[in-house]
């Protein structure tokens, strides 16, 4: 049922204290998607992916500063930078939902958000100078089960 050797529970376990916040947000997104009928069992979170961390350093300006996550790198993985742990919950969830949207909808940025909206019922918004993703408060409540 798990796609890769990396998909075992140990990859989810916080490897540093901050990783717990990302792992928890990811589990909430998976749980929510699962309740919506999506088979997301294979999805796993790759915290501190070296390629994401490298993008943050090497991409210039806004592109580098907003590079917190990607998919399509390792099978069924959502890769996130460690720094994403410090983002507000609304933003962490927006980021993760957008990336899961890619896994459902494909590589196009619009396709990811359309999948998030049409398949998961979650609207990904963009805000601020970095155009970071975030979820609306009502969608945060839906995902978190509040
Ligand atoms: Zn990666």
Rounded distance between C-alpha atoms, residue 90 and residue 98, angstroms: 12
In the structure, ligand 1 is a single-atom ion and the residues with CB under 5 Å from it are: 49, 51, 73, 79
Q: What is the mean pLDDT of the chain?
A: 90
Span 45-62, average pLDDT: 94
Ligand 1 centroid to Cα of residue 145, in Å, is 28
* Strand 124-127 with 44-47, pairing: unpaired
Record: fold of 5-141: Zincin-like (3.30.2010)
Band (19; pLDDT cuts 50, 70, 90): confident
Which residues, 6 or more positions from 140, have their beta carbon under 8 angstroms from its beta carbon?
A: 89, 90, 93, 146
What is the residue extent of each domain of the chain?
A: 5-141
Ligand 1 centroid to Cα of residue 146, in Å, is 31
Q: What is the pLDDT of residues 82-103, one digit of tens each?
A: 999 999 999 999 999 999 999 9
Span 7-35, average pLDDT: 77
Ligand 1 centroid to Cα of residue 74, in Å, is 6
Counting residues of the chain whose pLDDT is more than 70, the rounded percentage is: 88
Q: What is the pLDDT of residue 93?
A: 98
With 0-12 CB in 10 A as exposed, 13-18 as middle and 19+ as buried, what is 18? middle
Helix (H) or strand (E) holding 135: strand 132-135
Ligand 1 centroid to Cα of residue 116, in Å, is 21
Ligand 1 centroid to Cα of residue 79, in Å, is 5
């Amino acid at each position: 049922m798990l796609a890769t050797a990396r998909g075992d529970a140990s990859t989810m376990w916080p490897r540093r204290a901050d990783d717990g916040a990302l792992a928890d947000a990811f589990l909430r997104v998976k749980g929510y998607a699962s309740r919506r009928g999506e088979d997301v069992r294979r999805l796993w979170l790759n915290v501190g992916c070296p390629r994401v961390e490298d993008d943050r350093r090497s991409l210039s300006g806004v592109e580098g500063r907003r590079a917190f996550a990607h998919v399509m790198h390792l099978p069924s993985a959502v890769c996130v930078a460690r720094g994403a742990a410090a983002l507000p919950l609304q933003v962490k969830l927006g980021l993760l939902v957008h990336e899961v949207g890619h896994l459902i909808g494909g590589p196009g940025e619009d396709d990811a958000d359309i999948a998030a909206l049409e398949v998961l019922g979650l609207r990904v918004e963009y805000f601020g100078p970095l155009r970071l993703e975030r979820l609306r408060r009502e969608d945060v409540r839906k995902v978190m089960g509040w």
